[in-house]
Chains A and B, each alone.
Chain A
């Protein structure tokens, strides 16, 4: 028996599934709604980017010394060029600037050492950064030792002050935050309630009121006749505020460690501080690093608030430069510069913390 076989017509070849056209079709023009959205997005991009690039690069003036050199329609980067020294170092004496450079160069090396996973001796570098470096930095920046002339803190400013505020606030907040986090998890009722009240109080109020408090109330709290430097007052406020946030990050890290770890340590006869210092905290620290970096980013952005109590951080000094009568009307350039600096710092730190999170995240992912 012979079956009557009919041959099916050959199907048309599939449309492109690779290549730019197929990519465009799949990702941008896959349907009527998507097409409309894509066109709208392209329109938005063009209408935003073209004038911005025109303003910032093509029509911009780059070199010169005064506002007369800014003749064209675009941005006047001459303003930034003329002021860059002030924006970075504040009113720090010009021939002492090397001290700032050395301090932050040293700091950058230490941080890079800690951040790059392959480098050895992490523990010792961390100890050096947290314990030794602050004293070295103080001696270098403030002076008065090793024959360095004293530079009063009211001359500090710009990016340098921003970094000083953020780094000191952070380094000082770490130990306080650790103690508070341990206190909040403690079984001792008084210690626990003290920690909870402290943390919730500072987390419940805005940083600006904390700074106000540090600048107007702190002098009242001290013995009559004792005067505290304005920068130190701001630092005290920032540290207290930051330590409460740090405590919550550290508590989160502590909670992620299984109870068995602490119980096993206790079974080996370890006391509380040994259990915490040798078993729990080192394991928790690994999990806390992304959170710590994130709080550092928000602290870094929040340091701009010190301009309200009269310190000239990067934003403060840009704002002050904008009201200089020789350079009126360049506010967009000034803000764009400050925004770019802050953005580079914060974005690179947030990328680093995301990288760490990915490295530490070993669960199932799609």
Chain B
């Protein structure tokens, strides 16, 4: 046995490049310097280039008159409006097509996803075909198809296709009747709000009663009846204070009603159908991810099929579905920028397209456009993360 030496063990100090802490620090400083030099170079070059082209930087251009019209705007807009107003119009157009697209894609996606798991062979095959066809064709091609091959070849206004002489479809777009609210209509939204509050209260009472006595009433149906019935009742009692402004042919075009431009229709259809095929796959894999033992256990408790789905499968499947569903929603919002290819006046089209070309303020315009999409992405993912945290499995 060797006697341990009393002298303190002197570890040689490692050289500078062998010390992980110092090496990491050096590496990071080098990275910072590299990035800084790169950015400085870019800024420098940009200033030179802008000076050479005589472009002044800054956001002053936003107050200048735009001087071009936009076919669809949700807020007042004319060619005398400013570029700032153009930005807002584009943003709102992006948001509305995205919101309606998300809605439609979710509905189609869930229906097709569940249909793919149907015991009916034919339905399951049809759903599979839908998914495999639409998700393997580029979105831009689908937009072009709906726009150039379908909607642009519609008949002219005089020969428009009509549904019951109230809804018309022609080469200029889709014409829908517009509700005109008369006095006394305010009672109906009020009745709706009351019905919603009442059904929430009823659901809470029902839950407490079930916990106390074990008995429960069909809360879903009662709430549905309340929410639909009460406004309908008020509507009938007040004598239907709504008239419909039905579009009518006058001259070569339709007047009155709501006009949905074909660009919007094409973009909305393509976005919904394309994204729905991805959502359907997500829904299917989410449902299949639930262990079969869960269904069997629920069957052993003799729960009926509907309750197995509602109480056992869906709540667990949602946990698997929500994260990829979020990224599909974000994809849809980002893909709505393809509008520019068919001239739907979205943010990229009117702002990063027309405004950029007219003003030449490339940096400001692209930065603002990107900032909008980044903000939307961050907001949606924050919201969905919060929602996901609520439904997530809490372990220990």
A interface list, Cβ under 8 A from B: 27-28, 30, 34, 37-38, 41-42, 44-45, 187-191, 194, 201, 203-209, 212-213, 216-217, 219-224, 297, 301-302, 304-305, 307-308, 315, 319, 322, 331-332, 335, 338-339, 342-343, 346-347, 350, 366
Contacts and interface: CB of A to CB of B under 8 A. Distances in A.
A224 B352 contact: no
A339 B149 contact: no
Contact of A304 (B119, B132, B138, B153): B138
Contact of A27 (B120, B362, B373): B120
Contacts of A346: 135-137
Interface residues of B, number: 53
Given A221-B46, A223-B45, A190 B119 contact: no
B136 A191 contact: no
Contacts of A304: 138, 140-141
A217 B363 contact: yes
A26 B133 CA distance: 27
Given A205-B373, A209-B352, A224-B48, A350 B366 contact: no
Contacts, number: 147
Residue from the set A187, A216, A220, A339 with the largest chain B CB neighbour count within 10 Å: A220
A220 B370 contact: no
A346 B148 CA distance: 23
B45 A220 contact: yes
Interface stretch (B59-67, B69-77, B330-338): B330-338
B141 A315 contact: yes
Interface in B332-368: 334-335, 337-338, 340-341, 348, 352, 356, 362-363, 366
A194 B119 contact: no
B126 A41 contact: yes
Residue from the set B31, B32, B133, B137 with the largest chain A CB neighbour count within 10 Å: B137
B200 interface: no
A190 B28 contact: yes
A-B CB proximity, top 6 nearest: A346-B136, A206-B334, A27-B121, A301-B138, A204-B377, A190-B28
A208 B143 CA distance: 15
Contact of A220 (B27, B35, B363, B377): B363
B138 A224 contact: no
A130 to B, nearest CB: 25
Contacts of B10: none
Contact of A343 (B45, B137, B140): B137
B123 interface: yes
Contact of B144 (A42, A204, A301, A319): A319
A217 B27 CA distance: 30
A101 B104 CA distance: 43
Given A217-B366, A319-B144, 10 more contacts: A34-B120, A188-B24, A203-B377, A205-B373, A207-B334, A216-B356, A221-B42, A305-B140, A322-B148, A346-B137
Nearest to B339: A208
Contacts of B50: 220
A366 B290 CA distance: 11
Contacts of B123: 37-38, 41
Q: Is the interface of B mostly helix, strand, loop or mixed?
A: helix
B374 interface: yes
Contacts of B378: 204
A142 B141 CA distance: 28
B21 to A, nearest CB: 10
Residue from the set B135, B138, B292, B340 with the largest chain A CB neighbour count within 10 Å: B138
A190 B140 contact: no
A331 B145 CA distance: 8
B374 A208 contact: no
B27 A188 contact: yes
B141 A206 contact: no
Interface string B118-135: 111111001000001101
A308 B366 CA distance: 15
B120 A339 contact: no
B138 A220 contact: no
A350 B136 contact: yes
A75 B118 CA distance: 35
Nearest to B353: A212
Contacts of B253: none
B299 interface: no
Contact of A224 (B42, B49, B140, B335): B49
A15 B292 CA distance: 29
A204 B144 CA distance: 25
B144 A315 contact: yes
Residue from the set B52, B118, B120 with the largest chain A CB neighbour count within 10 Å: B120
B195 to A, nearest CB: 31
Contact of A338 (B35, B118, B141, B373): B141
Residue from the set A27, A34, A212 with the largest chain B CB neighbour count within 10 Å: A212
B369 interface: yes
A339 B145 contact: yes
A266 to B, nearest CB: 11
Contacts of B99: none
B139 interface: yes
B26 to A, nearest CB: 11
B138 A335 contact: no
A342 B370 contact: no
Given A213-B370, A223-B45, A34 B119 contact: yes
A313 to B, nearest CB: 10
B45 A28 contact: no
B122 A209 contact: no
A201 B140 CA distance: 23
Contacts of A217: 362-363, 366
Contacts of B46: 220-221
A335 B141 contact: yes
